[in-house]
Amino acid sequence: MITIMLVRQLPSQLVPGEMHALFEVLRDTSPEYRTTNPQSQAEHARDCERIKPTLVLIPYTYDVSILSQAMEKGFRHIRISAGEVTELCPSKPGLAFSFKPFKV
């Protein structure tokens, strides 16, 4: 079973295009969705450790700096834009975060 943790969004807020993009890359029609609303890096990291999601789906406009502690612990973060699923890449000191095409 694939668990997708949604940050600051509900499963009902995913539009059909986003659902289709997830299905295309995951090939799983029934992932489990869990929703969180973290207010800090530490809270987001704790949520990831508690839920242990396969993937963390972040809104397109979300401030990615709050994700760094969880990413350091190995939790994969993705977003969907224009029907494409991309994965957040860890930044190096002094560099901004970047996204790359998502591969399972």
**Sheet strands side by side (includes 55-57):** 32-36, 3-7, 55-57, 77-81, 84-89, 98-101
28-43 mean pLDDT: 89
Tell me, what CATH number does 37's domain have?
3.40.50
**Mean pLDDT for the chain overall:** 87
User: Measured between alpha carbons, how far is 65 from 38 in angstroms, rounded to an integer?
Assistant: 12
pLDDT at 29: 66
Domain count, the chain: 1
**Structural domain boundaries enclosing 13:** 3-101
24-50 mean pLDDT: 90
User: Measured between alpha carbons, how far is 82 from 89 in angstroms, rounded to an integer?
Assistant: 19
User: Measured between alpha carbons, how far is 52 from 47 in angstroms, rounded to an integer?
Assistant: 8
- Is the pLDDT at 97 greater than 80? The verdict is no
Beta strands in 18-90 (DSSP E): 32-36, 55-57, 77-81, 84-89
